[in-house]
Structure 1
């Protein structure tokens, strides 16, 4: 568990549905909501009885009153009963990752990120859920000039994954424009969220694991790529604010304000662990962009949100989680 208390809004929804609840962001969000007294319906197609990662992510929710977990696939399950009486749907379910989206797995991205989203949004409209918050990604911006991305910038997705995330957010927003739709939509473009329970293939996890174990780190490209790193607690607080702020609409960037190169992240990991990291440099991966950086103005203006956790502090908490549960978090990517 993180040692940082989320800097969240004072308002919490009474009843919420979290899709992708067994995932990285979803499990943290569900835990924060349930701790605050929200009745949370968590939905995920991964069965924690047989999926070790799902079980580990959901472990902090065990015993929390008001949390109900349902193993179901949004592509074919009955969604309407899940949404009855909900104040908000947090739609975080989907297939992540840039590299696997090239090739034969693309159909899975379309099915989970677009077709399942269509079913969720149709159900939310039928039930009349007041608010839907959908997880988008900074990857929709694609290559930039290096400056901060503003929500009004023209998206230029550079991978099949990014194409599906752009389609997902725009699909929800299109539904919200219909006269008969009473569901307002906020699409959050997350910028490189990291922290405890992060996916093992993500860079922050991989570099900390390399520092802790002494195993070599695969670095794709020269390491000068820059990312706007967002600590998980900050991402959760922005997500809750997106659900409870009355005038929140449309697309909002969620960036942690910790712009750093991958080489700088390696340096922080080295300083935290006190061990040199053996780096194996490889060719850049298709779809990776040189820089992601969020203009945070809209999040601050509309949601009253700003990040609280700097990269060094966040990586320290992430490292402590890896150290505490190596059997769960120490697997190779």
Structure 2
């Protein structure tokens, strides 16, 4: 408990300092989505002027936007909506970079772009394959990143988000899909090995990191927004069994999917309080989930 209290106190101080850094507003594009909605809630809670324009706002490019967080994007349905994916990740961004009046722009990308590489530093050379339909997501995100860095506008930067854990409206993440299956079937079947491993970051900590990047004059280039230490499927299933009673089986010949630990040295250099470990935030999230779903 003492550790949580200390973490909360330092986080509150960091939020107040961040809020006082600038009187300029923060404009969240994609405010109806999971991450965007949580960004808006934080900004309003701390009293920061915040604009959450609707989609296709005709006046967006005709007014000062302050610090922009570009949270527009598609996630789990990008394979079935390739044209909309490119429109969201690249085309709308292009218009904003060409005509928008902003102090800074923080483009939300994904650590998914590191798939297949052991180097997860922001300067890593990445590999994509246009013949693989799954790489459409990475290609479009990397095009957006490149536009931000080389599109001729100062103040444009990139935040590559890890697997964010929090209450969602739809089951578009691995953990949410497990929870949905458990609620429906009373048990879970994994299609990747128990030793499979990914990085997970709690939504509150992700919001803290994103806003620190957006409002810091010293933040330039690309930043990984992640915990930095991966979590195995085994640990997740143990929490689900203990908290919700969902037993787990593993499909025959389930492959191992091991994602290298994400390099978080750049984001740590901004002086943000370290994020909570999975074992700290996941029980709290599961309790929130139970209340939200009435389980």
TM-score, normalisation: structure 1:
0.75
CA distance in 1: counterparts of 2:32 and 2:71, whole angstroms:
10
The structure-2 alpha-carbon separation of the partners of 1:324 and 1:142, relative to structure 1 and needing over 3 Å to count, comes to: same
Shift in Å, 1:241: 0.5
Shift, 1:21, TM fit: 0.8
> Is the counterpart of residue 253 in structure 1 residue 254 in structure 2?
no
Q: Is the 8 A contact 1:93 1:112 kept in 2?
A: yes
- SS of aligned partner of 2:160: strand
Give matches, 1:1-333, under 5 Å. Answer: 7=11, 8-9=14-15, 10-12=17-19, 13-14=22-23, 15-43=25-53, 71-73=54-56, 77-81=58-62, 84-97=63-76, 100-102=77-79, 104-124=80-100, 127=101, 129-145=102-118, 149-157=120-128, 159-175=135-151, 178=152, 181=153, 183-197=154-168, 199-211=170-182, 214-273=185-244, 275-279=245-249, 281=251, 290-301=258-269, 303-326=270-293
Residue 107 and residue 85 in structure 1: after superposition, are their counterparts in 2 closer, same or farther (change >3 A)?
A: closer
Distance in 1, matches of 2:274 and 2:38, equals: 16
Superposed CA offset, 1:234-275 (max 9, x none): 1001011012211110101111134111222112222233x1
Is the 8 Å Cα contact of residues 254 and 299 (structure 1) preserved in structure 2? yes
Cα deviation for residue 292 of structure 1 reads 4.1
State the 1:139 CA deviation.
1.1
In the alignment, the residues of structure 2 paired with residue 284 and residue 144 of structure 1 have an alpha-carbon distance, to the nearest angstrom, of: 21
DSSP 3-state at the match of 1:308: coil
CA distance in 2, matches of 1:141, 1:267: 27
5+ long unaligned stretches in structure 2: 130-134
Measure the CA separation in 1 of the matches of 2:279 and 2:87: 37
Give the Cα–Cα distance (whole angstroms) in 2 for the partners of residues 101 and 209 of structure 1.
20
Question: Post-superposition shift, 1:283?
Answer: 7.8
Matches of 1:223 and 1:166, distance apart in 2: 30
Cα distance change of structure 1 residues 254 and 237 upon mapping to structure 2, 3 Å threshold = same
Flag structure 1 segments of 5+ consecutive residues without an equivalent. 44-70
The question of whether the paired residues in 2 share the 8 Å contact of 1:228 and 1:255 is answered with: yes
Counterparts of 1:131 and 1:117, CA distance in 2: 13
How far is the alpha carbon of 1:317 from its aligned partner? Answer: 2.1
Partner secondary structure for residue 40 of structure 2: helix
Judge conservation of contact 2:117–2:126 (CA < 8 Å) in 1.
no
1:40: how far off?
1.3
**CA-atom RMSD, angstroms?**
2.7
Shift of 1:140: 1.2
The normalised TM-score by structure 2 is 0.84
- Matched residues in 2 for 1:282 and 1:21: separation? 41
Deviation readout 1:39-92 (Å, 9 max, x if unpaired): 21113xxxxxxxxxxxxxxxxxxxxxxxxxxx3237xx44213xx333200000
Alpha carbons 1:24, 1:199 under 8 Å: kept: no
